[in-house]
């Protein structure tokens, strides 16, 4: 599979077709690489494809998969997802985070403006702003000191969630665990995360809540309220580990309406560089047929959204960055168009779409409004290295260094 499995799977599917059944050790894995196959899995048969496989690394790091993204399909998942969607990720709630987003994107612009070096690492500037927005709305405080360290741990968590160890699929290779160092990293990260989240929860518990306006509550406040309501009411209890697991998946993720070109640029960026190229693995819970092939219950499912978004049968000049293509079509990434699903679709589709795209578009709008950008040392745009790094989420491998100059008009 190599470091970039979406690329290896794409070349395999070019030879063997858009629906392949692979065997990772003993585990059957169905790989979908066409929009028809993706529609079949995420829409027509969504219910029986809505579970997640139990994988040992997420289980250890995410409190036995008590987070929304890795929890198996069922009542527990339905309950915590609805808390996230209703209280944290709805359009109304995202609008209430708007002030934080405005302030942090303006602060990013000011930092860039006052930088004396002239050459800016844009990748890190945007990542740091996104981390600050997410820290503020989730934890109620900004990155700094201990939290900076926390962002390093989160980066390591993200990397570990993307590791697919051989011993996961081939049990007799489990002796390798003693030598590959993965277990040690998992234990270190799990401990550091737990200590940090414990302290955040404790701080929120002892903090006096003044006449708090509902909109000022952060994610942890809301989850603690949910915990209290469940203790007093008839619902089943929500313990601290559940709260920690839910916070983690939120953090890890990290008058625009009229700006059509800007929206087209967002779509084109997500088409060419979806942060989760293979989405999040699913698991089939019932025997079925997909595009005429029999698939047995328990099969894992990967959807190569990256390959579908570059399929030459669906896209003209698919490798070219050409935002204008979206000015002439209504295709978007909200889960209804299976040629573009960077956020997945159906029951397990990403509930953070509005949150993510609002921050992204606001940051982009402020950057292009305030600055002109050039690549340093006369490098041409076609020469820019856009290689990807490995992990659960895909990042640009090398920093994006740019020379900025303030716009005068």
**Residue 157 within binding range of ligand HEM, rule CB under 6 A:** no
**Least CB distance from residue 290 to ligand HEM, whole Å?**
16
Q: Does 245 bind ligand HEM (CB under 6 A)?
A: no
In this structure, the number of other CB atoms found within 10 A of the CB of residue 211 comes to 5
Q: Which is nearer to ligand HEM, 76 or 322 (CB)?
A: 76
User: Which position among 352, 362, 364, 371 is part of the footprint of ligand HEM (CB under 6 A)?
Assistant: 352
The minimum distance between CB 54 and ligand HEM, in angstroms, equals: 14
DSSP 72: P
Coil/strand/helix, residue 403: strand
Q: How far is the CB of 218 from ligand HEM (least distance, A)?
A: 12
Would you put residue 13 in left (φ > 0), alpha (ψ -120 to 50) or beta? Answer: alpha
Name the one range near ligand HEM by CB under 6 A: 30-38, 101-109, 336-344, 369-377.
Answer: 336-344
- Interface residue with ligand HEM, options 18, 277, 342, 391 (CB under 6 A): 342
DSSP 240-258: HHHHHHHHHHHHHT--GGG
Q: Looking at 41, 161, 356, 363, which residue binds ligand HEM (CB under 6 A)?
A: 356
User: Is 165 or 349 the residue whose CB approaches ligand HEM more closely?
Assistant: 349
CB neighbours (10 Å) of residue 323? Answer: 17
In this complex, which beta carbon is closest to ligand HEM, that of residue 277 or of residue 404? 277
If binding is defined by CB under 6 A, does position 349 make contact with ligand HEM? yes
**Least distance (Å) from ligand HEM to the CB of residue 5?**
15
Give the nearer residue to ligand HEM in terms of CB position, either 19 or 404.
19
391 interacts with ligand HEM by CB under 6 A: no
Stretch that binds ligand HEM, among 3-11, 109-117, 144-152, 268-276 (CB under 6 A): 268-276
As measured in angstroms, the least distance from the Cβ of 270 to ligand HEM is 7
65 annotated ligand binder: no
Q: Is 280 a binder of ligand HEM (CB under 6 A)? A: yes
Number of amino acids touching ligand HEM (CB under 6 A): 26
Using the minimum distance from each CB to ligand HEM, give the nearer residue, 224 or 278: 278
Contact 118, 375 (CB under 8 A): no
Beta strands 300-303 and 27-32: pairing type? parallel
Q: How far apart are CA 192 and CA 207, in angstroms?
A: 23
383's CB contacts (< 8 A; 6+ apart) are 375
Residue with tokens 């109620």: 140
Q: Cβ contacts of residue 302 below 8 Å, gap of 6+? A: 9, 29, 30, 31, 32, 278, 279, 281
Rounded to the nearest 5°, which phi and psi values hold at 94? -60, -40
- 351 sits near ligand HEM (criterion: CB under 6 A): yes
Distance CA 193, CA 188 (A): 9
Instruction: Please answer whether residues 275 and 309 qualify as being in contact, where contact means their C-beta atoms are separated by less than 8 angstroms.
Output: no
Least distance to ligand HEM from the beta carbon of 371, Å? 22
Encoded one letter per residue, x for contact with ligand HEM by CB under 6 A and - for no contact, window 66-105 reads: --xx-----------x--x----x----------------
Residues in Cβ contact with 402 at an 8 Å cutoff, skipping those fewer than 6 apart: 119, 120, 122, 373, 374, 375, 376
Question: What is the C-alpha to C-alpha distance for residues 401 and 120, in angstroms, rounded to an integer?
Answer: 6
If the CB atoms of residues 89 and 367 are measured against ligand HEM, the closer one turns out to be 89
79 conformational bin, left if phi > 0, alpha if psi -120 to 50, beta if neither: alpha
Comparing CB distances to ligand HEM, the nearer of 69 and 404 is: 69
| Shortest distance in whole angstroms from residue 347 CB to ligand HEM | 7
The contacts of residue 133 (CB under 8 Å, 6+ apart) are: 97, 100, 101, 104, 359
Task: Out of 345, 362, 363, 364, name the contact with ligand HEM by CB under 6 A.
Answer: 345
**Rg of the chain, C-alpha, whole Å:** 22
Lay out the site mask for ligand HEM across 17-56 (x = CB under 6 A, - = otherwise): -------------------------x--------------
Return binding residues: 350
Return binding residues for heme: 350
Which residues contact ligand HEM by CB under 6 A?
A: 42, 68-69, 81, 84, 89, 249-250, 253-254, 274-276, 279-280, 342-345, 348-352, 355-356
């Amino acid at each position: 599979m190599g470091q970039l499995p979406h690329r290896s799977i794409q070349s395999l599917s070019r030879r063997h077709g858009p629906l392949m059944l692979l065997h990772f050790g003993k585990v059957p894995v169905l790989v979908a690489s066409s929009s028809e196959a993706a529609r079949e899995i995420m829409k027509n048969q969504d219910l029986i494809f809505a579970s997640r496989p139990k994988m040992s690394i997420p289980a250890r790091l995410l409190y036995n998969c008590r987070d929304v993204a890795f929890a198996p399909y069922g009542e527990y998942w339905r309950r915590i997802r609805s808390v996230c969607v209703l209280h944290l990720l709805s359009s109304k709630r995202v609008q209430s985070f708007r002030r934080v987003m405005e302030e942090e994107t303006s602060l990013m612009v000011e930092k860039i403006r006052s930088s004396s070096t002239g050459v800016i690492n844009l990748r890190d500037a945007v990542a740091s702003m996104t981390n600050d927005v997410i820290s503020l709305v989730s934890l109620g405080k900004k990155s700094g000191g201990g939290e900076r360290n926390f962002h390093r741990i989160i980066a390591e968590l993200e990397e570990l969630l993307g590791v697919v160890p051989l011993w996961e699929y081939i049990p007799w290779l489990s002796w390798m665990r003693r030598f590959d160092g993965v277990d040690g990293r998992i234990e270190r990260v799990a401990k550091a995360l737990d200590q940090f989240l414990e302290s955040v929860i404790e701080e929120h518990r002892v903090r006096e809540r003044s006449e708090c306006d509902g909109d000022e509550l952060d994610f942890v406040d809301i989850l603690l309220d949910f915990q209290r309501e469940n203790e007093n009411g008839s619902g089943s209890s929500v313990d601290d580990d559940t709260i920690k697991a839910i916070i983690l998946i939120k953090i890890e993720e990290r008058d625009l309406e009229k700006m059509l070109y800007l929206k087209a640029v967002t779509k084109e960026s997500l088409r060419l560089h979806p942060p989760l190229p293979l989405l999040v693995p699913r698991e089939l819970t019932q025997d079925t047929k997909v595009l005429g092939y029999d698939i047995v219950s328990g099969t894992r499912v990967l959807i190569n959204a990256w390959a579908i978004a570059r399929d030459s049968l669906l896209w003209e000049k698919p490798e070219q960055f050409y935002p204008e293509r979206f000015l002439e079509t209504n295709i978007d990434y909200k889960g209804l168009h299976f040629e573009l699903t960077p956020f997945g679709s159906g029951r397990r589709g990403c509930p953070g779409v509005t949150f993510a795209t609002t921050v992204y578009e606001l940051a982009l709008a402020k950057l292009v409004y305030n600055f002109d950008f050039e690549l340093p040392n006369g490098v041409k745009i076609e020469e820019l290295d856009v290689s990807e790094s490995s992990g659960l989420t895909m990042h640009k491998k090398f920093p994006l260094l740019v020379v900025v100059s303030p716009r005068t008009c």
